[in-house]
Structure 1
Amino acid sequence: MFSGAQVSLYPMSDDFVGIILSAIGALDPYRPNFRIETDDVSTLIVGPPDQLFPAMRDLFVAAAGRGVHCVLAATVSRGCPGEPDDPICTPIADSRHDRPLEERVAAAVAHVEAAPRTGRIVAAQFSLYPLGSGHHMDEIYGCIEFLKKSGVFDRSKNFCTKLRGDAGPVFATLSEAFLRFGAPQGHVALDLKVSANSPTAL
């Protein structure tokens, strides 16, 4: 399997370079398990699918901790048939894809409830695309059911779902949506925006 994310960080500050470079240090604990490549548009993080969202959480919380309005944009993918298998992308553990949707929903909710709190409130909106599945709408509806029980569901929007709450449970919810819905070895993509410290938070 191949799993990874293209991530861009946008601090709304004259010191955006300093904020970004300082925040990147939050990825250091993940580097032994990841391949990380940066260019002038985004940073590619390739590695175990269950570590992608904790890494993005720590990166974002570090940047948002400076108090300025900050946005993270990411495209996350697993199982893309156009990418080669990579041994650092370990299979998804405990996804329970052999279980009925209601059991996967309950397991996802339990994981979110156990997520550590960061003290940083964020808003996020995302779209999940379980590709190549004959029952993809069942997976999407199951994910929506989970989101409404996650404790961080804000509302449904056109083309996406909005979440709001502490960054810990929010990123845990995103991770559970990515890991538990869609075929375990199928292609699943997720489009994501996260915002903190917005002057126009609604």
Structure 2
Amino acid sequence: MFIGAQISLYPMTSDFVGVITTSLSALDPWRGQLRIETDDISTLLVGPPEAVLPAIRDLFVAAAKTGVHVTLHATLSRGCPGEPDDPMCHTAVLTGPLAPIEERKALAHEAVGRAPVLDQAVSAQFSLYTLGIDQHMTEIYGCIDFLKSSGVFDRSKNFCTRLHGDAGAVMATLEQAFLRFGPPQGHVTIDLTLSANSPSPR
């Protein structure tokens, strides 16, 4: 399986270069588990989701801790049939048959309960796409049900769901949405935007 994310970080400050370059050091602990490639548009992270999502979290939190308004856009994908299998992407969660949805929701809640508290509020909006399966709406509705009881659900919006809370819990919720819904060997994608320190009232 191939698992990864294309991410772009946008600090809303004249010192955007300084914020980005300083925040990149937050990826250092994850470099042994990820393949990281950067160009002038985005940074690619390839590896197991247990490293990809926390790496995105740590990068974003590092930027948000500067106090400036910062956003991050990410496209996450697992199981794309157009990409080669990569052993570094192996994760035990995505093996075996598709478990009953209530069992997966329970496991997702347990994982979110173990999320670290990072003392950084973030907002997120995202859309989940479970591709190439007839029961895709069953999976999406199951995910929405999980989100509504995750502790960080804010509201439903057109085409997406909004989350708000501590970065640890928000990113753990996103990781579980990415892992637990859709067939283990299926193609699943997420379109994600994160925001922190926005001057706009919620």
- Relative to the length of structure 2, the TM-score reads 0.97
Partner of 1:91: 91
Using a 3 Å threshold, how does the CA distance of structure 1 residues 187 and 12 change in structure 2: closer, same or farther? same
CA apart distance, 1:91: 3.0
Map residues 115-126 of structure 1 onto 2, 5 A cutoff. 115-126=115-126
Partner of 1:23: 23
CA apart distance, 1:87: 1.5
The runs of at least 4 consecutive aligned structure 1 residues that moved more than 2 Å come to 91-99
Partner of 1:37: 37
Partner of 1:168: 168
The answer to whether the 8 Å contact 2:98/2:183 transfers is no
Q: What secondary structure sits across from 1:93 in the alignment?
A: helix
Using a 3 Å threshold, how does the CA distance of structure 1 residues 77 and 129 change in structure 2: closer, same or farther? same
Using a 3 Å threshold, how does the CA distance of structure 1 residues 49 and 31 change in structure 2: closer, same or farther? same
Map residues 73-92 of structure 1 onto 2, 5 A cutoff. 73-92=73-92
| Aligned-partner Cα distance in 2 for 1:192–1:19 | 21
Amino acid at match of 2:120: R
Using a 3 Å threshold, how does the CA distance of structure 1 residues 14 and 97 change in structure 2: closer, same or farther? farther
Query: Which stretch shifts more, 190-199 or 48-57?
Result: 48-57
| Structure 1 residues without counterparts, runs of 5 or longer | none
Using a 3 Å threshold, how does the CA distance of structure 1 residues 123 and 201 change in structure 2: closer, same or farther? farther
| Residue 191 (structure 2) pairs with residue 191 (structure 1) | yes
| Aligned-partner Cα distance in 1 for 2:201–2:186 | 36
CA apart distance, 1:201: 3.4
CA apart distance, 1:96: 7.9
The answer to whether the 8 Å contact 1:147/1:153 transfers is yes
| Aligned-partner Cα distance in 1 for 2:35–2:167 | 24
The answer to whether the 8 Å contact 1:35/1:46 transfers is yes
The answer to whether the 8 Å contact 1:4/1:46 transfers is yes
Partner of 1:147: 147
The answer to whether the 8 Å contact 2:126/2:162 transfers is yes
| Aligned-partner Cα distance in 2 for 1:119–1:91 | 28
The answer to whether the 8 Å contact 1:97/1:104 transfers is no
| Residue 52 (structure 2) pairs with residue 52 (structure 1) | yes
| Structure 2 residues without counterparts, runs of 5 or longer | none
Map residues 109-120 of structure 1 onto 2, 5 A cutoff. 109-120=109-120
The answer to whether the 8 Å contact 2:74/2:193 transfers is yes
Q: What secondary structure sits across from 1:134 in the alignment?
A: coil
- Relative to the length of structure 1, the TM-score reads 0.97
| Aligned-partner Cα distance in 1 for 2:38–2:92 | 25
Q: What secondary structure sits across from 2:32 in the alignment?
A: helix
Tell me the C-alpha RMSD between the 2 structures: 1.3
The answer to whether the 8 Å contact 2:93/2:184 transfers is no
| Aligned-partner Cα distance in 2 for 1:14–1:190 | 30
Corresponding residue pairs, total: 202
Partner of 1:108: 108
| Aligned-partner Cα distance in 2 for 1:200–1:69 | 10
